[in-house]
Amino acid sequence: MARLPIIIKIMPKPVFADPSPDRLVVALAYDGLCTFEFGLAVEVFGLPRPEMGPDWYRFAVAAVDAGPLAATGGVRLMVDGGLDLLDQAGTVIVPGWRGVEAPVPDALSAALRRAHGRGARLLSICSGVFVLAAAGLLDGRRATTHWRYAAALSTRHPAVTVDPDVLYVDEGQVLTSAGSAAGLDLCLHLVRRDFGASAANSVARRLVLPAHRDGGQAQFIERPVPRPSGTARLGPLLDDVLAHLDRSHPLAELADRAGMSLRSFLRHFRAATGMAPGEWLLAERLRRARDLLEAGDAGIEQVALACGFGTAATLRHHFNRRLGISPAAYRARFRRGVP
């Protein structure tokens, strides 16, 4: 049986004298639209919220491509207008993009630059950052994206300072979010900027979400450690260090145990693991700490000792610096068997 497309008509909102003309939010739609990311923008900015008063956002959808647009999941969209809508927008949302390597149309880049030039805010969700970067609007700025795309963003756009460990980056007029669900964090942040914490809390309650999440996406990333290849002397040494993370492992002692000069040891270690010894040891200690926090009820001080941090204060310092979250908060969020 033939599959029938679902036709969604997003009705244009009536134009009225708005005391805050920048309240018009325009979300981009394109062929191959990321449905989830687009839905986040609709949910926060496109739903009527009479409890917020007459100054709340207005919402419209602008087509990047001509003709019927197909979104992920078999959905087809009819929109409010074309890229000319960006000339009226106070905020433009780029809800993902159809591919990291997919070209960005010149007309879209030009429309975004015009919007930026007259003061509109530009917000990207997940892979939508590649559209802003292609338009040259992130050069010299910090930005983030899904951790899977961070390396590609850095390589393709070296003028952008990529921060892969945060949920979103607010550079004032240009805002970027990490992976898909982090788009909600950024949208709520914008509501907080525009209307205050009370309004953001109200929208968050409707969404059954915390108004602000602690930490960053580093806590969700699996970082498999490259295993040594062709380095017989390093393999057993690293296995022994992993078995005794609670102990001190001075660099000179490690080099001696490997039967290498310090300089040779550092070169072979980086070739085998991709890291300097201190970086590798810290990463493994944090990994062990995460496992212990997820698996049991050991106190923070016990976890710190078992992983070689020495004190709970040192563990908290490295957890917050690397993962953007405290050990206690990490346990509360990720403890196994706890819904």
CATH number where 98 lies: 3.40.50.880
Whether 246 and 206 map to the same domain: the answer is no
Q: Which residue is listed with tokens 């805002």?
A: 175
Whether 142 and 290 map to the same domain: the answer is no
Q: Is residue 227 part of a domain?
A: no
Q: Is residue 75 part of a domain?
A: yes
Whether 21 and 115 map to the same domain: the answer is yes
Whether 118 and 248 map to the same domain: the answer is no
Looking at 120-244, which runs of residues are DSSP E strands? 121-125, 142-143, 161-162, 168-170, 174-177
Q: Which of 14, 7, 126, 102 is nearest to 59 (CA)?
A: 14
Task: Among 177, 196, 219, identify where a domain stops.
Answer: 219
pLDDT at 277: 92
Count of domains in the chain? 2
Domain that holds residue 239: 234-334
Q: How far is CA 151 from CA 148, 158, 295, 311, in A?
A: 7, 10, 31, 34
pLDDT at 14: 34
Output the pTM of the full model: 0.67
CATH classification of the domain holding 328: 1.10.10.60
Whether 73 and 127 map to the same domain: the answer is yes
One pLDDT digit (tens) per residue for the chain, 339 residues: 444 444 444 433 333 333 345 899 999 999 999 999 999 999 999 999 998 988 999 999 999 998 788 888 888 888 899 999 999 999 999 999 999 999 999 999 999 999 999 999 999 999 999 999 999 999 999 999 998 999 999 999 999 999 988 899 999 999 999 988 899 999 999 998 898 888 888 898 888 887 777 667 766 665 544 444 444 568 889 889 999 999 999 999 999 999 999 999 998 888 887 788 998 999 899 989 988 988 878 899 999 999 999 999 999 999 988 888 899 988 887 665 544
Q: Is residue 224 part of a domain?
A: no
Whether 181 and 293 map to the same domain: the answer is no
Query: How many residues comprise the chain?
Result: 339
pLDDT at 221: 63
Structure confidence by residue, pLDDT tens digits, 236-275: 898 899 999 999 999 999 999 999 999 999 988 888 877 8
d(CA 79, CA 127): 21
Identify whether the C-beta of residue 217 lies closer than 8 Å to the C-beta of residue 182: yes
Task: Among 193, 219, 245, identify where a domain stops.
Answer: 219
Whether 176 and 38 map to the same domain: the answer is yes
Please compute Rg for the chain using Cα positions: 24
Task: Among 161, 195, 219, identify where a domain stops.
Answer: 219
Q: Is residue 1 part of a domain?
A: no
pLDDT at 295: 81
Judged by DSSP in three states, 52 sits in helix
Structure confidence by residue, pLDDT tens digits, 78-137: 889 999 999 999 999 999 999 999 999 999 999 999 999 999 999 999 999 999 999 999
